[in-house]
Amino acid sequence: MSLIVQKFGGTSLADAEKIHRAARRAIRAKLEGQRVVLVVSAMGHATDELLSLARAIASDPPKRELDMLLTTGEQVSIALMAMAIDAAGHEAISLTAAQLGLVTDSAHTRARIQRISRERIDRELEAGKIVIVAGFQGIDASGEITTLGRGASDTTAAALAAVLGAPVCEIYTDVDGVYTADPRIVPQARKIDEISYDTMLEMAAAGAGVMHSRAVEFGKKFNVPIHVRSSLTDAKGTMIMAETHNMEAMSVQGVTLKEDLAMISLNAVPNTPGVAARIFAEVAKNHIIVDDIVQNIYDGGERANLSFSINSGDAPEARAVCERLAAKLGIGGVVVDEGVSKVSALGVGMRTHTGIASTMFDALAHAAINIENISTSEMVISCIVRREDGPKALRYIHDAFGLDKPNNRQGSA
């Protein structure tokens, strides 16, 4: 008997009717003879609402208590989903991470999954029930409740699909697949039928919020294809899967915008061996994830300016870490700029396909948008721009690469 993992996001569970709709889809899979595991997120914007409640109480609440609060959102959804399936005359059981044994490390608000016990799930499936798992949450070795990072119900689903050996992990959401750009910002964006794990990983890391990047990592590691599709229709969505020959022909496959960034600039850094190592060791020790790093040397090699981008949520912590370092290492000053975004073009062989970088810079020039920083890698070219310029930058770049046209091959020469 085959097994399917279906994950429903918050917008697909926003009210009672939507919960019934998701329940009907799960029941249909069950009636077709499959074992069904559902993973659900918090309803609608529940997680955001819980977060703002927390912020109304304290500007920097303890992370353990944040996790305690945020996990209630998914607990509401699993119970309501079980009730909806029961009301339709089918058997279901809701399970929290603690009940099923989804164990993470202890990094509150950004925990990583360490192991998942399948014993309880298997037992419930064996008894003929639809199993409903709370996404986004975990439990650490000492029984503390953790969360896996914003948007991480996808990761719960992909990890479960991997552990249970499901042939596919279905992600039901409010768009009918992965698009060449966020369709809310670029209305001309097109749906991508198939995308490789690697390109999707880069897109997710560069800001395509449609998938949590660690979900794609699980898919890749355990070779579980992820089908991103609409919760409203039966149309085929986007398959995230191992690379096929067809995909290689494309160069630029998508563009992304990452808005929640901050730039930290350290001015007049002593340019001596070991300084950068000390700075980034300290930053890493505080679990701050660094995006791009730029260093310029001046003053005849005596001093350097060092800038790096981080998630803006980490800005207060990064500022404190850098100010401590500045005092210790004789760094001239620390400037935190929270008004930046990053636009990226993604695809295969970006560095070797000539003309891609210049097409992107031309597009920004036409839009009269200043580039504050550039970084390139094998699959991504990114520019830091002012936050207010981000959406316009995305539309111009999408247009410049002809991504609105079917079978685009621009830049693949």
Which positions lie near ligand ADP, rule CB under 6 A? 9-12, 41, 151, 173-175, 178-179, 181-184, 208-210, 254
Q: Interface with ligand ASP includes 152 (CB under 6 A)?
A: yes
Q: Interface with ligand ASP includes 151 (CB under 6 A)?
A: yes
Q: Interface with Mg ion includes 151 (CB under 5 A)?
A: yes
Closest CA to 279 of 208, 329, 237: 329
For tokens 């014993």, what's the residue? Answer: 119
Cα–Cα distance, 346 to 389 (Å, whole number): 19
3-state secondary structure of 30: helix
* Cβ neighbours of 56 (radius 10 Å): 8
Which string of x and - marks every residue 62-101 that binds ligand ASP (by CB under 6 A)?
-----------x----------------------------
Residue (136 or 396) nearer to Mg ion, CB: 136
Residue (151 or 347) nearer to ligand ASP, CB: 151
Contact 168, 227 (CB under 8 A): yes
Contact 212, 152 (CB under 8 A): yes
Determine how β-strand 380-386 pairs with β-strand 373-376: antiparallel
Cα–Cα distance, 75 to 96 (Å, whole number): 7
| Span near Mg ion by CB under 5 A; candidates 5-13, 31-39, 116-124, 288-296 | 5-13
Q: At its nearest, how many Å lie between Mg ion and the CB of residue 214?
A: 12
Cα–Cα distance, 280 to 285 (Å, whole number): 8
Q: Interface with ligand ASP includes 104 (CB under 6 A)?
A: no
Residue (32 or 48) nearer to ligand ASP, CB: 48
137 binds, among ligand ASP, Mg ion, ligand ADP, none (CB under 5 to 8 A by kind): none
Q: Interface with ligand ASP includes 12 (CB under 6 A)?
A: no
Residue (179 or 396) nearer to ligand ADP, CB: 179
136 binds, among Mg ion, ligand ASP, ligand ADP, none (CB under 5 to 8 A by kind): ligand ASP
Cα–Cα distance, 320 to 265 (Å, whole number): 13
| Span near Mg ion by CB under 5 A; candidates 6-14, 84-92, 295-303, 366-374 | 6-14
Closest CA to 181 of 262, 292, 291, 258: 258
Helix (H) or strand (E) holding 371: none
Burial 89-119 (b: 16+ CB within 10 A, else e): ebebbbbbbbebbbbbeeebbbbebeebeee
Q: Interface with ligand ASP includes 237 (CB under 6 A)?
A: no
* C-alpha separations of 27 from 36, 46, 81, 95 in Å: 8, 25, 11, 18
| Span near ligand ASP by CB under 6 A; candidates 144-152, 176-184, 243-251, 309-317 | 144-152
The site for ligand ASP (CB under 6 A) is made up of 9-10, 41-42, 47, 73, 135-136, 150-154
Contacts with Mg ion, residue ranges (CB under 5 A)? 9, 151
